[in-house]
Structure 1
Amino acid sequence: MTVSYTCTNKENYVDKGASRNMAIVIDGIIGAGKSTVGHFLSDMLQVPIFEELKDDGKESLAQRMLDLFYADQTRWSAIIQVMFLNDRFKDLKKIEAEGDNAILDRSIYGDEIFAKTIHERGQMTADEFHIYRDLLHNMLQHIKAPQVLIYIDVSVDTAMERINKRARSTEGDLIPRDYMEDLRRNYELWFEQFDLCPKVRFDLNNSALDDNGNVKESVKLEILEAIRPYVLPEHKI
């Protein structure tokens, strides 16, 4: 297990702390293990987690929309992107209004990676992508940057294996491998350029998990130690 520290100018982020909300955001491709990391952090730090899928039920609106999207990406790409973007914006407004620490298992900043990937694959029109980006950047003017970004890096093989194991509706059969490869490539580019808050990167391939698919205790400690310096002193966790 290797931890890569990628925040190169910590002092600047500390000075700008007043302009940050109290969220720890976790990002990575589908099946990376964001929810797994989010839940253990939520338990250990005693802070709530805001999940991308509010309801794991196969009949939830989000899951129904995902099934439609994977079956016909061109038809449903724009509306599903707006749906998830709106959900993330509502979560961030709630976090900022209540002034509490919270964990998000995908960031509003990473949301654009999906729209970008779909657009590049010809499954979202230029006009739809323009409208989506305009909406996103309008929203970003009304929220603060998070305390820290945790980026979970896994291979496409690992991600696809985990997607199939979790059996969430029919996504394991519907998600194309080449879509995942494009998504991972764009995530790598995005992470290198992201500079709104401190960021740490973790390899969470199978060696980081135990036989039950849970994060190993040693890895949990590494993650906690990695994010500790970037949490504001008045909100120390």
Structure 2
Amino acid sequence: MDLGQIQIIVEGMTASGKSTVVDLLAERLGFKVMPEEFRDQHDLLSRFHHDRRWAFPMQLNFLVTRFAQYLCASEENDYIMDRSIFGDKVYATLYYKQHYFTDSQFGCYLTLYDSLLRNTASPRLLILVRCPFEEILRRIRARGRQDEIDAGVEYWRLLFDAYQPFLEFVRKEMQIPNVLELDLADPAFIKTPERVERFLDDVRAFFPERFAGLQ
């Protein structure tokens, strides 16, 4: 079977607004959604938020799950994804720098990551969602997911800082040519039609054959 290509990946930190963007693109532009999914039969995410020693098995599980999702979404030329294998290394590198991974564990992770990446085609477009740290914290508290709250402000600050060089990372290491940044600092964005339309026009410009004559 000839594989297709992921059309759009939406990346960004937790609570930055990724799901809002994915839902908008699906509703207004007709893309199919391959949502973020974590097969966590051993409750690794919850364990990690209470004990950092679970970082390595949790992140391996994330990596393999995201790769499997990517392959599934690559079967057609219609899918967008909420996160992907490309952003996974941000978390793993942070955990290594914080000594949640040993040297040998991080080496094992990188070997698997590099191997999977060789079998992963770049998306047509990567949308990087940005949001100020204080707004991200407000959203995390507002949605009230206890595991996220228990992770603590320091953890979210470290993750926020780790995401700052992500744009350079995807352009150089991942060699993804088409990247669109979106600032979602203002919660009113999604309720402001003219701003939404400008964003949708920016996205359409990357898919001239798909939206020819529809603008």
Task: Name the TM-score, length of structure 1 as normaliser.
Answer: 0.78
Cα pair distance change 1:22/1:52, threshold 3 Å: closer
> Deviations 1:21-57 (Å, cap 9, x if unpaired)?
2330111111111111111111112222122236xxx
State the 1:167 CA deviation: 2.4
Q: Report the AA paired with residue 141 of structure 1.
A: R
Match of 1:52, SS state, is coil
- Are the aligned partners of 1:208 and 1:219 in contact in 2 as well (CA < 8 Å)? no
Residue 87 (structure 1) aligned to one of 61, 65, 87:
65
State the 1:20 CA deviation: 7.9
Q: Distance in 1 between matches of 2:29 and 2:92?
A: 32
Q: Report the AA paired with residue 233 of structure 1.
A: E
- Are the aligned partners of 1:20 and 1:145 in contact in 2 as well (CA < 8 Å)? no
2:197 counterpart residue number: 221
> Deviations 1:147-195 (Å, cap 9, x if unpaired)?
1111111112111111122223x12321222222222222111212322
> Deviations 1:123-170 (Å, cap 9, x if unpaired)?
1111111111111111111121001111111112111111122223x1
Q: Distance in 1 between matches of 2:133 and 2:41?
A: 23
Q: How does 1:68-83 map to 2 (within 5 A)?
A: 68-73=47-52, 75-83=53-61
Structure 1 ranges of 4+ moved more than 4 A: 234-237
1:130 counterpart residue number: 107
Q: How does 1:1-237 map to 2 (within 5 A)?
A: 21-53=5-37, 61=40, 64-73=43-52, 75-97=53-75, 99-168=76-145, 170-195=146-171, 196-205=176-185, 207-209=186-188, 214=190, 216-231=192-207, 233=209
Q: Report the AA paired with residue 111 of structure 2.
A: D
Q: What is the Cα-based RMSD across aligned positions, in Å?
A: 2.4
1:7 counterpart residue number: none
Task: Name the TM-score, length of structure 2 as normaliser.
Answer: 0.86
Higher RCO (CA < 8 A, seq sep 6+) = 1
Q: Distance in 2 between matches of 1:225 and 1:100?
A: 20
- Are the aligned partners of 1:20 and 1:146 in contact in 2 as well (CA < 8 Å)? no
Q: Report the AA paired with residue 78 of structure 1.
A: F
- Are the aligned partners of 1:37 and 1:215 in contact in 2 as well (CA < 8 Å)? no
State the 1:109 CA deviation: 0.9
Q: Distance in 1 between matches of 2:41 and 2:194?
A: 34
Cα pair distance change 1:220/1:65, threshold 3 Å: farther
Cα pair distance change 1:155/1:234, threshold 3 Å: closer
**Seq. identity, %:** 23
Q: Report the AA paired with residue 49 of structure 2.
A: Y
Q: Distance in 1 between matches of 2:78 and 2:211?
A: 8
The answer for unaligned runs of 5 or more in structure 1 is 1-18, 55-59
The answer for unaligned runs of 5 or more in structure 2 is none
